[in-house]
């Protein structure tokens, strides 16, 4: 049996030498002066060696404990050398998983998404504002349902019920991506069904009463702010696209002679190209605006720089300036105004939905391949709608205009 004294006094020679302790444990002293603990054992009929550390970092007591642990594995039919290799692989894997934080994986996921710019910005806002500060630095594979729920409850406690639900959806998309990439084993959002308070259903404020629509149009005519903002207010009720689609409009998308606005798919919510027939009134607004902004990229450039479109708050701010509160009218409300009135007037519901660029999930493929669907009817509808708005602005014709046959 070895002693600490014998080990300390042992000197190297010109050849490696071994000092045996017992149970297969020995200390190998190499000519360079190093002292290595080794365990000699047999497994599967073969003699093998297992390194147990160096002296003096690993003392005699520790070396014997490591020997005993290895022999317990042997007694259980486990090769300690293979066990060590397996543990090393697990440590490497754990380190790799630890490096794959929620934020890193989420940013990889965002980079791979082929979505409209406005959707991309919303995803980024939700993740960076609400999730990254709470769970961004955590290994994605280590995030439990409880940890994620705590992060979501903070959003909920701030009264942002809709945002909390959206954050849960985005987190689920990131976790499912992580599973496919081998960064996580499970999606914790699957266990959180019903854990959050349901968001309150919000409808975009809109004016649909014909008399009040006329009042709004007259108020817009009296707007004294920026000319570009006035043009946006005038065009919004004539085209009823989404606010983001309106403010990102580019001159290259318009054929004013043909009275058509072609919005590319990458800018649409459903990623499908969209055609907007332009009434003569809409063309007139655009031709006048072209004198101001036609030399640039954007139809509605920002006030501070023409390299960016107008702010997303510009139209709503202008409506507030006209005296319309957020519970009365919004930029998105022009869509609801048109949809409500056109349906009441008896126009083809499918043509209205196509003009609004709505597409049910089972019609997405159709939306991609039929951007011009109902185009002739939509042309008649858009011109008739513009004429009807003119009548309301003039203070008359509150009776709905008739849908023309053909």
pLDDT computed for residue 287 by the predictor:
97
> pLDDT for 249-271, tens place per residue?
999 999 999 999 999 988 887 67
Q: Report the catalytic residues.
A: 242, 269, 332, 335, 358, 368
pLDDT computed for residue 396 by the predictor:
60
pLDDT computed for residue 159 by the predictor:
87
pLDDT computed for residue 217 by the predictor:
94
- 185-199 as b/e, with b when 16 or more CB fall inside 10 Å? eebbbeebeeebeee
Average pLDDT over residues 104-119: 87
pLDDT, the chain, mean? 87
Q: Is the pLDDT of residue 289 over 90?
A: yes
pLDDT band at 97 (very low <50, low <70, confident <90, very high): low
pLDDT computed for residue 251 by the predictor:
96
> pLDDT for 13-63, tens place per residue?
999 999 999 999 999 999 988 899 999 999 988 999 999 999 999 999 999
Q: Is the pLDDT of residue 364 over 60?
A: no
Length of the chain: 406
Average pLDDT over residues 83-91: 85
Rg (Cα) of the chain, in Å, rounded? 35
- Please state, in angstroms and rounded to a whole number, the distance separating the CA atoms of residues 111 and 124: 10
pTM to 2 decimal places: 0.53
Whether the upstream peptide bond of residue 56 has omega within 30° of 0, thus cis, is yes
Is the model more confident about 142 or about 366? 142
pLDDT computed for residue 295 by the predictor:
94
Q: Identify the CA nearest to 221 among candidates 394, 399, 397.
A: 394
pLDDT computed for residue 312 by the predictor:
86
Average pLDDT over residues 103-110: 93
Is the model more confident about 71 or about 202? 71
The answer to whether the beta carbons of residues 91 and 98 sit under 8 Å apart is no
- Please state, in angstroms and rounded to a whole number, the distance separating the CA atoms of residues 363 and 353: 12
pLDDT computed for residue 368 by the predictor:
39
**Considering the chain, what percentage of its residues have pLDDT values greater than 90?**
61
pLDDT computed for residue 398 by the predictor:
52
Q: Is the pLDDT of residue 228 over 70?
A: yes
Average pLDDT over residues 180-196: 90
- Please state, in angstroms and rounded to a whole number, the distance separating the CA atoms of residues 236 and 248: 13
Q: Is the dihedral of CA 200, 201, 202, 208 positive or negative?
A: negative
pLDDT computed for residue 369 by the predictor:
40
> pLDDT for 290-324, tens place per residue?
999 999 999 999 988 888 999 989 999 999 999 99
Lowest mean per-residue pLDDT among 96-105, 130-139, 151-160: 96-105
Q: Is the pLDDT of residue 354 over 80?
A: yes
Phi, psi of 218 (to 5 degrees): -70, -35
| Residue 313, phi-psi category: left (phi > 0), alpha (psi -120 to 50), beta (remainder) | alpha
The answer to whether the beta carbons of residues 137 and 101 sit under 8 Å apart is yes
The answer to whether the beta carbons of residues 143 and 103 sit under 8 Å apart is no
pLDDT band at 363 (very low <50, low <70, confident <90, very high): very low
């Amino acid at each position: 049996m070895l002693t600490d004294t014998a080990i300390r006094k042992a000197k190297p020679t010109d050849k490696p030498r071994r000092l045996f302790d017992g149970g297969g444990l020995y200390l190998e002293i190499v000519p360079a002066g190093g002292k290595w603990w080794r365990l000699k054992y047999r497994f599967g009929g073969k003699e093998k060696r297992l390194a147990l550390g160096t002296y003096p970092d690993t003392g005699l007591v520790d070396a014997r404990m490591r020997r005993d642990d290895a022999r317990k594995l042997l007694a259980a039919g486990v090769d300690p050398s293979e066990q060590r290799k397996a543990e090393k692989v697990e440590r490497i894997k754990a380190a790799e998983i630890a490096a794959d934080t929620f934020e890193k994986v989420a940013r990889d996921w965002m980079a791979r998404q082929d979505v409209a710019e406005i959707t991309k910005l919303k995803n980024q806002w939700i993740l960076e504002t609400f999730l990254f500060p709470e769970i961004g630095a955590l290994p994605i594979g280590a995030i439990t349902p409880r940890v994620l729920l705590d992060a979501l409850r903070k959003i909920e406690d701030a009264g942002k019920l809709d945002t909390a639900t959206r954050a849960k959806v985005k987190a689920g998309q990131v976790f499912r991506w992580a599973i496919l990439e081998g960064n996580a084993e499970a999606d914790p959002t699957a266990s959180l069904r019903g854990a959050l308070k349901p968001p309150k259903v919000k409808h975009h404020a809109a004016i649909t009463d014909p008399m009040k629509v006329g009042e709004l149009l007259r108020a817009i005519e009296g707007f004294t702010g920026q000319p570009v903002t006035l043009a946006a207010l005038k065009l919004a009720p004539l085209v009823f696209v989404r606010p983001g689609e309106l403010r990102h409009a580019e001159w290259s998308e318009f054929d004013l002679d043909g009275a058509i606005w072609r919005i590319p798919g990458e800018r649409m919510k459903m990623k499908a190209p969209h055609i907007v027939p332009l009434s003569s009134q809409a063309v007139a607004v655009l031709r006048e605006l072209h004198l101001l902004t036609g030399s640039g990229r954007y139809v509605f450039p920002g006030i501070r720089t023409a390299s960016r479109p107008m702010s997303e708050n510009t139209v709503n701010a202008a409506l507030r300036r006209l005296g319309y509160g957020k519970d009365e009218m919004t930029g998105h409300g022009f869509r609801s105004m048109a949809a409500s009135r056109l349906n009441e007037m008896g126009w083809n519901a499918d043509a209205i939905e196509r003009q609004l660029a709505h597409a049910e999930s089972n019609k997405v493929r159709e939306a991609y391949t039929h951007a011009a669907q109902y185009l002739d009817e939509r042309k008649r509808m858009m011109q008739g709608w513009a004429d009807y708005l003119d009548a309301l602005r003039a203070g008359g014709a509150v009776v709905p205009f008739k849908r023309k046959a053909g």
